[in-house]
């Protein structure tokens, strides 16, 4: 793991993030890497994914050649503002993604860049991913509480996107999660709009135990065919 930060021109604040590098990183100077941006939940920090077991599981799956080596970027949302006024999505799109692509040997095509999150991070991933489909080919929404103002935006997002450029979407939630019906409704909207997606309703609730138990499923989905 590497820890980085830069002063954001959009917020005027220091923007912090972590980057996971695969064990083989740097051995082949010609190799480029896909990138997955994973966003943390409300009232958590960007170490949340580490606590769920990200590093050991990535190392294990890469070593066994079950997934391709990839970079994982873990941004920190420090300013918990209303989604309508937060600079967080613009910082990720306009500052963080270019920083990562300029600093590391990433694969530049959108098909090799994904964004996902848990809880509030899932809401951000849906908004950022659909509003910037030219950047992200896959969107993961784990225990999704869709932002209220985004609930009616899906048709508009898709209208601006050629059908062949629709992102692939993964939605999952626990049956004991208070937001499960909203997540199901979002999956049904994707169905009606013919957006390629996977939808899972598991047991358990809105907890880190739930996310840790499904982390391998998430990583295999993000990194499939890469």
Residue 149 pLDDT class (50, 70, 90 cuts):
confident
**What angle, 0 to 180 degrees and rounded to 10, lies between the N-to-C axes of helices 208-222 and 54-63?**
30
pLDDT score for 162: 86
Show me where the domains of the chain are located: 2-222
| Residue 15 DSSP SS3 | strand
Residues 90, 93, 95: CA angle, nearest 5 degrees: 85
CATH for 2-222? 3.40.50.1820
The model's pLDDT over 54-96, given as tens digits with 9 standing for 90+, comes to: 999 999 999 999 999 999 999 999 888 998 899 999 999 999 9
Bridge partners of residue 172, in order along the sequence: 142, 200
Q: Is 95 left (phi over 0), alpha (psi -120 to 50) or beta?
A: alpha
DSSP assignment letter at 148: G
pTM, to two decimals: 0.96
Q: To which H or E segment does residue 37 belong?
A: strand 35-39
Our separate counts of H helices and E strands in the chain read: 8, 8
pLDDT of 151 over the 80 cut: no
Q: How far apart are CA 194 and CA 178, in angstroms?
A: 26
């Amino acid at each position: 793991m590497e820890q980085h930060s830069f002063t954001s021109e959009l917020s005027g604040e220091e923007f912090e993030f972590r980057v996971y590098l695969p064990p083989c990183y740097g051995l082949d100077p010609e190799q480029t890497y896909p990138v997955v941006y994973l966003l943390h939940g409300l009232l958590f920090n960007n170490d949340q994914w580490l606590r769920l077991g990200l590093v050991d599981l990535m190392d294990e799956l890469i070593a066994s050649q079950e997934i391709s080596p990839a970079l994982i970027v873990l941004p920190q949302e420090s300013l918990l503002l209303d989604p309508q006024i937060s600079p967080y999505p613009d910082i990720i799109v306009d500052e963080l993604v270019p920083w990562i692509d300029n600093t590391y040997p990433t694969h530049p095509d959108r098909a090799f860049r994904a964004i996902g999150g848990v809880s509030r991070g899932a809401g951000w991933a849906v908004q950022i991913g659909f509003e910037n489909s030219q950047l992200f080919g896959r969107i993961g929404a784990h225990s999704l509480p869709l932002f209220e103002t985004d609930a009616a935006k899906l048709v508009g997002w898709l209208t601006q996107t050629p059908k062949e450029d629709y992102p692939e979407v993964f939605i999952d939630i626990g049956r004991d999660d208070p937001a499960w019906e909203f997540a199901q409704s979002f999956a049904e909207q994707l169905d009606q709009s013919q957006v390629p997606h996977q939808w899972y309703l598991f047991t358990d609730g809105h907890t880190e135990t739930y996310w840790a138990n499904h982390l391998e499923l998430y990583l295999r989905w993000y990194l499939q065919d890469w």
